[in-house]
Amino acid sequence: MDAPAAAWAERWFAHLRTERRLSPHTSVNYARDLGAFTVFCDGQGVTAWPQVDNFHVRSFAAREHRNGLGPRSIQRRLSSLRSFFNFLIREGVVKSNPAEEIKAPKAPKRLPKTLDTDRMARLLSPPEDDPLARRDHAMMELLYSSGLRLAELVGLDLTDLDLGDRTVRVLGKGSKTRLVPVGRHAVTSLSTWLRDRAGIARPEETAVFVGQNGRRLGARAVQQRIDRAARRQGIDLKVHPHLFRHSFATHLLESSGDLRGVQELLGHTDISTTQVYTHLDFQHLARIYDQAHPRARRRK
């Protein structure tokens, strides 16, 4: 690609950060996807974005598939390209989007793993008499109580918590704010941690969860502490922060059946994203069937 093409790529990256306000993680993925496509175009002798057509994008997707990239990753790369070319259309650089009609290979549906209620109860058993153990317990209670993403948890400030009202204000994907209820156990655990926090956090620190250095706890540290807590409880599953969100959604759906409500609590824009959690076990479905279907109800 020539210098003007590279300059448009840089302008798009700035657009992602400043206008769309995507998370750093998402922006890095988009940049990596466009970088892979740029290398492909260089090999095809393409030097400017208006030269790119459907054939180039289709060939790129096919090559990525042959090289072993999974369907979901290819779909993300195509989504990145569609976003980039829509930006170029807006700026008058190209007239059409060559990635618009290109589809990735179908990916098999993967149901999210969850912790059952028994293992979750073990994981959330009372912590050791140690401030950092109580902090970890508060984090896990909040993750399970309110279905937060990892980035949402580490981004929480003290002003986001209202334990009197039992709510937490969350800044989710796309900088969208939502208000989420906090359960009774999580409120108790958070209250205990906040008392401990007063003796650990630096005076200017606003984060709810801090490390031994008194500063905001990072995502990697949260992952490590949760993994350590799970291994200590002998849980035979790789436990990570998002597993709490999966479990929150699944257990709530099993109890309520309210898909729209769970969608709001999770902060999903599209309900199809929430529908992955409707994998209720067969016994639960059979019980509903026996209770509800006119030809299945048992006589009293």
Predicted structure pTM score:
0.60
* pLDDT band at residue 85 using 50, 70 and 90 as cut-offs: very high
* pLDDT band at residue 137 using 50, 70 and 90 as cut-offs: very high
**pLDDT for position 245:** 87
- Name which residue leads in pLDDT, 276 or 189: 189
| Residues known to be catalytic | 149, 173, 242, 245, 268, 277
* pLDDT band at residue 280 using 50, 70 and 90 as cut-offs: very low
Per-residue pLDDT of 234-271, as tens digits, reads 988 889 998 898 888 888 777 776 667 777 777 776 66
* Cβ atoms 135, 209 nearer than 8 A: yes
The 8 Å CB, 24+ separation contacts for 33-40 are 33/76, 33/77, 33/80, 33/81, 34/9, 34/80, 34/81, 34/84, 36/60, 36/64, 36/77, 37/77, 37/81, 38/1, 38/5, 38/6, 38/9
Instruction: Tell me what the mean pLDDT of segment 19-35 comes to.
Output: 88
- Name which residue leads in pLDDT, 211 or 110: 211
Can you give 193-232 as a three-state secondary structure string? HHHHHCCCCCCCCCECCECCCCCECCHHHHHHHHHHHHHH
Is residue 279 pLDDT above 60, yes or no? no
Q: Is 270 helix (H, G, I), strand (E, B) or coil?
A: coil
Nearest Cα neighbor of 38 from 28, 50, 48 is 48
The number of C-alpha atoms within 13 Å of 285 and in the hemisphere containing its C-beta is 5
* pLDDT band at residue 34 using 50, 70 and 90 as cut-offs: very high
- Name which residue leads in pLDDT, 176 or 243: 243
Query: Average pLDDT of the chain?
Result: 87
- Name which residue leads in pLDDT, 268 or 95: 95
Instruction: Tell me what the mean pLDDT of segment 202-222 comes to.
Output: 96
**pLDDT for position 272:** 65
* pLDDT band at residue 74 using 50, 70 and 90 as cut-offs: very high
**pLDDT for position 186:** 94
Is residue 18 pLDDT above 90, yes or no? no
* Cβ atoms 8, 85 nearer than 8 A: no
- Residue ranges of domains in the chain, CATH in brackets: 3-90 (1.10.150), 119-284 (1.10.443.10)
Is residue 179 pLDDT above 70, yes or no? yes
- Name which residue leads in pLDDT, 283 or 204: 204
Radius of gyration of the chain (CA): 23
Is residue 112 pLDDT above 70, yes or no? no
